[in-house]
Amino acid sequence: MIPEGAIVFDNDNGTAPAVAIKLNDKIIIMLPGPPRELQPIFIHQAKPFILSSIRNTGVLITESLKTFGIGESMLETRIKSIVAKHPNFVFATYAKMGEVELSITTYADEKNSTQDELNQIMLELEAELSPNIYSTKAGSLQEALVQKLIRYQLTIATAESCTGGYIAKRITEIPGSSNVFMGSIVAYSNDIKVNFLEVDKSSLENFGAVSEEVAKQMAKNVALKFKTTFGISTSGIASPISENPNKCSQNYYSDKEIGLV
C-alpha cells in the first residue's frame, strides 16, 4: 500500500515500493532494503528529489560514467584527488555484477559555469579511468560492446567452457548484434575442445583445460572458424570437484590478436 500523497519512485530491479513523503516541512524517504534495488533508486531518483526539494531556485546537473575491470574501492582510490579538487560535487559509486557506475552531481544557481566545471571533471575522470570506462551514457556493457563493434565494422565469436554460452546470450540480447556476432561454440568437455575447436591434446594434457595455453587456442580457433575479427574464450572451474584439486577457480579471456587479457 502507498501512503496518500506519496511520490512513487520506479523500482526497475524489484517489486518493493519506494516512496517519498513531504510532511510538516520534512521529507520522509522509504526505500527497499536489498542493495541492488536501494542503491540505483537512491542515486538516480531519491537523491535528486531531496536536492530539488531543499532548494527554491537553481538547477540540478549530473553526469555518469560506467566502468568494468576495476573494483569499487580501487576506483574510489584512483579518483580521490579529483574528488578533493571539486568539493561542490557529489561523487557516488554504485557497484553491481562486473561493473561500477560513477555519478557526479551538484546543485547550481548558474548552470553554465557549473556545467563547465562538470565537463572538466569528466575529462579528468576519463584521463584517469579511460582503460576501464565503457560508456558515459545509459545502457549495459553488452550494448556498448555491440555499438562499438558496429561502429568500427568488427565481428566477434565466442568459445565458452565454464560460462556455458552465457556471454553469447548477453550479446545476442542486443538489437543489431546479428551484424557483428557470428556465433559461439560451447566447448564444455575436452572432447569438444579437441574435435570442434582443434585444441591440441598435448596442451590439455600438459597444462589442463583451465590454462592460458588452452584459452588462447580456443579463442584463436573460434575466430578462424567463424572468420571474425576477434575470438573470445572462457575457461574455469565451475565446481569444487575438478581434474586438478590444486588449481583455484579462475577464468581466462583471450583473443586471436593479443592472446590472454
pLDDT of 45-97, one tens digit each? 898 888 777 665 567 788 999 999 999 999 999 999 999 999 989 899 988 88
User: Cα–Cα distance between 144 and 166 in angstroms, integer?
Assistant: 17
| Residues 242 and 255 placed together within one structural domain of the fold | yes
Of 103, 138, 173, the one marking the end of a domain is 138
User: Which set of grid coordinates corresponds to residue 129?
Assistant: 579511468
Last residue of a domain, one of 114, 138, 162: 138
Are 129 and 182 in a shared domain?
no
Which cell goes with 128? 584517469
**CA nearest 28: which of 57, 1, 58, 49?**
49
Query: Is residue 98 within 8 Å of 68, Cβ to Cβ?
Result: yes
CATH code: domain of residue 99: 3.30.70.2860
Domain count, the chain: 3
115 shares a domain with 6 = no
Cell numbers 526539494: residue: 53
Identify whether residues 255 and 197 lie together within a single domain: yes
Mean pLDDT estimate for the chain: 86
pLDDT digits (tens, 9 = 90+) for 128-159: 999 999 998 878 899 999 999 999 999 999 99
Domain of 210, CATH number, reads 3.90.950.20
23: β partners = 26
Which among 18, 22, 53 has a CA at the least distance from the CA of 33? 18
Assess whether 206 and 234 both reside in one domain. Answer: yes
Residues 116 and 187 in one domain: no
Q: What pairs with residue 64 in β-bridges?
A: 103
User: Are residue 50 and residue 81 in the same domain, yes or no?
Assistant: no
The more confidently predicted of residues 1 and 65 is: 65
In the prediction, which pLDDT does 66 show? 94
One domain for residues 255 and 147:
yes
End-of-domain residue from the set 105, 138, 171: 138
| DSSP summary character for residue 6 | P
- How far apart are alpha carbons 135 and 17 in whole angstroms? 29
- For the stretch 185-201, pLDDT in tens is 999 999 999 999 999 99
Q: What DSSP string runs through 158-204?
A: EEESTTTTHHHHHHHTSTTGGGTEEEEEE--SHHHHHHTT---HHHH
Binning pLDDT at 50, 70 and 90, where does residue 259 land?
A: very low
Q: What is the pLDDT of residue 121?
A: 96
What is the span of the domain harbouring residue 149? Answer: 141-260
**Within this chain, do residues 164 and 250 fall inside the same structural domain, yes or no?**
yes
The answer to whether 67 and 132 have CB atoms below 8 angstroms apart is: yes
Q: Are residues 72 and 107 part of one domain? A: yes
C-alpha distances in Å from residue 213, one per residue of 72, 130, 136, 189, 194 = 31, 29, 35, 16, 13
Residues 6 or more apart whose Cβ sits within 8 Å of residue 13: 34, 36, 37, 40
148 with 247, same domain?
Answer: yes
Same domain (yes/no): 149, 218: yes
pTM of the model: 0.66
Please say if the pLDDT value at position 123 is more than 70: yes
